[in-house]
Every structure is written in C-alpha cells, then in structure tokens.
C-alpha cells in the first residue's frame, strides 16, 4: 500500500531518524526570493535557509520558476515540503521546510513583483544555469537574444531573469525602497560583476539613470557554490518512501559535501551565514576559479569521454583506469598550474578531495546530465585553462582531448538521431551530421561556432593543430591515444 504523502498534516508521522524543520513554518517570513527552484537550489541554498530559519524567522524563500510549473504543481500538495537525501555509506534524510511558496512567473507575474518590491525581501538568488543569463560569446548581455529583445519591448511583461531583476529594482527605486542584494549561484566566471553588467546594460536601454543607480547602489557579490547533485529518479523516490514512511513526489539528493562562499559585502551581512557553514570572504575569485576549472572542468571532460566509452555515471567512469588516470593528469598537470598559489586554498589538496568525491560509489551522478549545455559550459570550464596554458607555453593536450571528446559526443548524437540538450542543439546536430571523420574539416566546423570558440582562439594555429591532433587520436568509441 502506498504510504501517505508528505505534507504539513502528515509531517509529524515521519520516522524518527529523519530530521524535520525545528521551527514553526507559519511564523516564518519571506525575506529571500530565488529564481530557478530546480534540484540544485532545493539541495543547496534551501538547505542553508532551512538551517537559518532555526534561529532567524526572516529567511523563508519565495521561489520563482521562470518557465515550467512542474515543481510548483508537484510540491503544492506537500505544502512545498520535500526530502533532502545526503548521500554516503549511511545516508541522512532531512525534510526541508524553507520554501514558503513557488510562483510560476508567466502565470503569477504580479505576485513575483510584489515579492521583489517588498522591503522584507533582502536577498535575491539565482540558479538559472549559464544560458539563463542571455549572454553573448564575450560574456556581455546579448541584446539580440530572443528573450532580451522581447523584454525590451514588453514593459513589465518580461520573461527573462534579467528583465525581472531590472524591473524589480526599478520599482524599488521609484518607491524609495533600499535595493536587495543579488547573488548569482551559477557557474559563471566573476558571476556577480557579470550579472551586474547584464542588468545594468538592460536598464540602460530605457533608463540611463536607473542603470547608474543599479551600478552604484545594488550589490552583486561574487559567489561560489559546490555540491554534486544527481537527478531525482524512481529509485530515490522509492528509497525516501521506505526510509521516511511518507511518500515524497519530488525529493532531491546530493553528496554530503556542500560549500557556499559569498563575497563579504555589507549587503549580505543581514544573516548569520557563518552559523550555518557559509564562508564570507573578501576574495571569492580563487574559490570560484578553482571550482570552475577543477570540479566543473573535470566533470565535463569526464562526461564526454565517459559517455563515449559506454559509462553512465561519474563513479563508474572513475573505475575505468584509463579515464581515472587521464582526469588526474588533466587536473594536476594542465589545470593546477593555471591557478594562483594561496594560503587559503591548497590546490593539491583540493584536487585530491575532488577526485575522492568523484570516486564515491554512493553518488550516482549521471554523465548524461553533466553533458547538457556543453556550448555554454566549455567556454567557462575548459577554455580558460587552455588559454592560460597556451600563453604560458605549457602542455594542454589533455584539455584538447576533452574538447575533441565533446565534438565526438555531438557527432555521435547526430548520427544516432538522438536529442541534444543544448541551447544550440539544432546548429550542433547539423554540424554533427555534416562531419565525415576527416579531422581537419570536422574540427573546423565546430571551431566556426563563435559563441563557443572566440575567433582569436579558434584562429590560432597552435590551438587548431592541437584540437585536430586530439580528435584524430580519440576514437569514436572513446579509445584513448597511447
């Protein structure tokens, strides 16, 4: 018999081993708005909010979905409660109560603006993925992006997160309300300043004074977030029901390791972050760069190479001796030299910890999930390491191999008639179908994508030569060159 569903009415029936909210949810106030209530947000930022609420009732979250109503519709019968599973040999389950509401922007735009305008909203965070920022190949706001072009003509009927932030800040300025802090939790280099520049550029198209006010008065601190978050599947749902005694329609899971680093600026000192394990620091740059290049860069390399070799998960790929050796050499010999030395972060130890996380058998992180949106991930995860190595005259053959593996992955999907989850899916699949296993011509087709490969890099003979050699040496089935 199917167990009762998790909700406020059944919460007291959850089994004793499962942690539950240690605060009265009805007494909590919304002080935090989040765009993008996907799995990572519910496993990461909502977890920190859940702990904050144990000591401070001001930090309940209003979550805003920019497109799909799926999360709202599934969690509404559960009063927005859900289970977080922290994966390890002995997993830990926790019911998260930090979400006060989930709004679907196209359907509930007035409610979204009401939250953005409210003086109680002191913090706005984002997990909308790299493509949600509508940036061009140089990392600037793409004014010709369909969503941005629409929003610039739409008044307050916007659909992009950039449009919502600009309009929300405009309304606060008009009413004389202090601005909220805007905290990007996505894997963008220099994510705070990058987001500030995008919102300012959007505002400047209509109101230069608003743009100047945003530039001068609104805080966009740099941040770094980290925790491996495998997708929810039927096995997780069954596991949660068995261990909690209640049915949860959409639990989330992550590794036990979790990290959040925020640039220490006055606007974010509105909560006791240290008490819940968040690091405030003057310099997030090193943490951010290390995470992007070490954890995310290795993940992407693993995904494309591992899928070519028939592996399904990160841990499975890491049990392949050739892949494991490749990833370790990639990080130690080609990525690490491009990271600055620091007393606060030992890169060698950080790499060792990362490899250990990748090997964890309890974390079934699907390579197919990591492979999504390669056109947006490669420019921030791998190409900066390539550029640094080329400039310094260091070896970067393994980085070239990762780029070649991505090309082989796209070609494989195109030839199999499979789908590709990527904002440039149609263009990539067309290129994949046109490839003929002639390394020079195939690689040239991909390097012509200026949104991914800046022309100055793609036109460099040393770059082209190395990628062509890697492509030639990498078999279509992921066989590695000797």
Q: Which pairing describes strands 99-104 and 60-65: parallel, antiparallel, or unpaired?
A: parallel
State the CATH number of the domain containing residue 309: 1.10.1040.10
Q: Mean pLDDT throughout 397-401? A: 97
Q: Same structural domain for residues 96 and 123?
A: yes
Q: Which of 296, 305, 310, 336 is nearest to 323 (CA)?
A: 305
Does 1 map to a domain? no
User: Residue 340, exposed/middle/buried by CB under 10 A (0-12, 13-18, 19+)?
Assistant: exposed
Q: Same structural domain for residues 101 and 153?
A: yes
What local confidence, expressed as pLDDT, does residue 482 receive?
A: 59
CA distances from 180 to 8, 45, 333, 392, 396 (A): 30, 17, 42, 41, 42
Q: Mean pLDDT throughout 170-186? A: 98
- Residues linked to residue 262 through DSSP beta bridges, in sequence order: 223, 280
pLDDT digit string (tens) for 205-252?
999 999 999 999 999 999 999 999 999 999 999 999 999 999 999 999
Does 248 map to a domain? yes
CA distance 259 to 261: 7
Please answer whether residues 454 and 137 qualify as being in contact, where contact means their C-beta atoms are separated by less than 8 angstroms. Answer: yes
- Residues linked to residue 125 through DSSP beta bridges, in sequence order: 34, 183
When pLDDT is cut at 50, 70 and 90, the band that residue 349 belongs to is very high
pTM confidence score: 0.84
Among the candidates 281, 299, 321, a domain finishes at 281
**What is the domain count for the chain?**
2
Q: Same structural domain for residues 83 and 179?
A: yes
Judge whether residue 322 has pLDDT over 80.
yes
Q: Same structural domain for residues 69 and 152?
A: yes
pLDDT digit string (tens) for 82-134?
999 999 888 999 999 999 999 999 999 999 999 999 999 999 999 999 999 99
Which domain range does residue 437 map to? 285-473
User: Could you tell me how far CA 392 lies from the centroid of its own chain?
Assistant: 29
Among the candidates 239, 262, 281, a domain finishes at 281
C-alpha triplet 298, 304, 305: angle, nearest 5°: 85
Q: Kindly report the backbone phi and psi dihedral angles of residue 261, in degrees, each rounded to the nearest multiple of 5, phi listed first.
A: -120, 130
Among the candidates 281, 312, 341, a domain finishes at 281
């Amino acid at each position: 018999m199917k167990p009762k569903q998790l909700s406020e009415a059944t919460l007291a029936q959850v089994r004793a081993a499962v942690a539950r909210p240690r605060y009265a949810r009805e007494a909590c106030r919304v002080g935090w708005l989040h765009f993008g209530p996907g799995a990572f947000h519910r496993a990461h930022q909502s977890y920190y909010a859940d702990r904050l609420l144990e000591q401070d009732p001001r930090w309940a979250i209003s979550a805003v979905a920019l497109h799909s109503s799926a999360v709202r519709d599934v969690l509404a019968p559960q009063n927005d409660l859900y289970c977080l599973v922290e994966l390890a040999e002995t997993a830990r389950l926790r019911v998260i109560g930090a979400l006060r509401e989930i709004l679907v922007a196209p359907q509930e735009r007035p409610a979204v603006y009401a939250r953005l305008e409210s003086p109680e909203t002191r913090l706005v965070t984002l997990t909308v993925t790299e493509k949600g920022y509508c940036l061009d190949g140089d990392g600037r706001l793409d004014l010709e992006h369909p969503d941005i072009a629409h929003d610039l003509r739409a008044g307050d009927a916007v659909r992009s997160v950039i449009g919502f932030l600009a309009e929300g800040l405009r309304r606060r300025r008009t009413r004389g309300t202090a601005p909220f802090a805007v905290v990007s939790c996505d894997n963008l280099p220099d994510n705070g300043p990058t987001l500030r520049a995008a919102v300012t550029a959007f505002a400047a198209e209509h109101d230069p004074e608003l743009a100047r006010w945003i530039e001068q008065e609104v805080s966009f601190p740099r941040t770094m977030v980290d925790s491996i978050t495998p997708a929810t599947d039927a096995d997780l749902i069954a596991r949660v029901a068995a261990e909690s005694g209640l049915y949860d329609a959409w639990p989330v899971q992550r590794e036990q390791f979790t990290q959040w680093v925020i640039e220490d600026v006055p606007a974010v000192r509105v909560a006791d972050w240290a008490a819940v394990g968040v690091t405030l620091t003057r310099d997030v740059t090193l943490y951010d760069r290390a995470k992007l290049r070490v954890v995310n860069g290795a993940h992407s390399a693993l995904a494309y190479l591992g899928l070519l070799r028939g592996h399904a998960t990160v841990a499975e790929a890491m049990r392949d001796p050739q892949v494991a050796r490749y990833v370790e050499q990639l990080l130690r010999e080609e990525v690490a030299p491009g990271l600055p030395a620091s007393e606060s972060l030992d890169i060698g130890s950080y790499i060792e910890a990362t490899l250990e996380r990748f090997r964890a058998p309890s974390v079934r992180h699907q390579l197919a999930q990591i492979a999504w949106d390669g056109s947006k991930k490669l420019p921030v995860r791998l190409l900066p390491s390539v550029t640094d190595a080329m400039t310094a005259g260091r070896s970067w053959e393994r980085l070239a191999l990762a780029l070649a593996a991505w090309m082989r992955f796209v070609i494989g999907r195109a030839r199999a008639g499979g789908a590709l989850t990527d904002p440039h899916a149609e263009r990539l699949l067309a290129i994949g179908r046109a490839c003929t296993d002639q390394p020079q011509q195939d690689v040239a087709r991909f390097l012509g994508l200026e949104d991914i490969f800046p022309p100055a890099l793609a036109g460099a003979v040393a770059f082209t030569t190395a990628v062509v050699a890697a492509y030639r040496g990498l078999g279509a089935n992921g066989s590695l060159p000797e």
